[in-house]
Amino acid sequence: MPIVKNFFIGLSNNTLLNNAAKEIGPMLGANKVVAGNTIPALLDTIERLNDKGITVTVDCLGEFVDTEGEAIQAKDQILEVMYAINNHNLNGHMSIKLSQLGSEFDIDLAYRNLREILLKANEFNNMHINIDTEKYDSLFDITQVLDRLKGEFKNVGTVIQAYLYKADALVDKYPELRLRMVKGAYKEADNIAYQTKEEIDENYIRLIKKRLLTAKNVTSIATHDDRVITHILQFIKDNNIPKHRYEFQMLYGFRTELAEEIAKDGYNFCIYVPFGDDWFGYFMRRLAERPQNLNLMFKEFTKPEVLKKAGIVAASVTALGATIALFKKFTSK
């Protein structure tokens, strides 16, 4: 449903809603998909997942970084989380957006910040640092920084968004890096990315297979799609892919039972754990990927006490729910 997806992407980019949501996140059920906004809360989540045989990759949430001071603050928070994970002997690593580190206004600043993070990661048992992908406009900056760093550091990787036409070339370019394979969560033009679910799914499965057969490093298969998981598990079995060459990934708070089931079956499993107050943009993009996830938050928004206190954010998402309901009714005729 492209209209619904575009709506969620628009909300994710709304500065007013993002700022308002920081104040009321827990009331709206953000704690269901974000591991709190304090280091102790995050560590409790990581420890609980580790006890179930699941590793984590932590995303220190942040949107709209516009100044050097904000970029340095984001870098310092990432370092603080790394220290905490290392000092508590937990099994986790970091996922970082280059825009948090200043890339949208100073690419050299972002490079310096990321290099400082990687240097510290080397001291922490070579902790992996993943550069998350963002909108297509940022792809050149991400690959430019990655290419500068990959010769010096062996613990850096990135994400491949299967809906991009360039995804094939990127898989070919980085066989030696640890890569996370995702379908893609941003709105891109049809000259840049596949548009239909069928096309995206087909390319996603094809790229995962290609990567599993050719990669020299770990492939992270990030999906909640049962059909894709079943298909890839059979491919892994048919081609005798060793377990150390891949892992499955899911988002914190989504399909928890399935994640634990796969981990219990002996497969390497990692949960993507968001952390911090800037939860709104992150969650809206998750809804854009899978609008069915709206039910998780909509139940919280429609409680009378939330509608009374939450103001603009609650009203917006309540209106969104009504819009979707009307759209479904219209398209079903």
User: What string of DSSP letters covers 64-96?
Assistant: ---SHHHHHHHHHHHHHHHHHHHHTT--EEEEE
As a whole number of angstroms, the distance between CA 43 and CA 48 comes to 8
Who's near 158: CB < 8 A, 6+ residues apart?
130, 131, 132, 133, 142, 143, 146, 174, 177, 179, 180
On whether the CB atoms of residues 58 and 92 are closer than 8 A, the answer is: yes
Termini Cα distance of the chain: 15
Beta-strand runs (E) in 168-265:
179-182, 219-222, 246-251
On whether the CB atoms of residues 204 and 148 are closer than 8 A, the answer is: no
Sign of CA dihedral 129, 71, 45, 311: negative
As a whole number of angstroms, the distance between CA 248 and CA 253 comes to 15
Q: Would you say 161 is a known binding-site residue?
A: yes
- Characterize the bridge pairing of strands 55-60 and 92-97: parallel
Q: Would you say 173 is a known binding-site residue?
A: no
**Phi then psi for 149, rounded to 5 degrees?**
-100, -25
Q: Would you say 290 is a known binding-site residue?
A: no
Q: Would you say 224 is a known binding-site residue?
A: yes
Q: Would you say 223 is a known binding-site residue?
A: yes
Q: Would you say 195 is a known binding-site residue?
A: no
Which residue from 213, 262, 269, 268 is spatially nearest to 239, judged by alpha carbons?
213
Active-site residues, by number, are 132, 180
Q: Would you say 41 is a known binding-site residue?
A: no
| Token pair for 169 | 């070339």
Q: Would you say 187 is a known binding-site residue?
A: no
Which residue from 288, 218, 203 is spatially nearest to 248, judged by alpha carbons?
218
Binding site for substrate, by residue number, is 97, 285-286
Binding site, by residue number, is 97, 161, 183-185, 197, 223-224, 285-286
Binding site for FAD, by residue number, is 161, 183-185, 197, 223-224
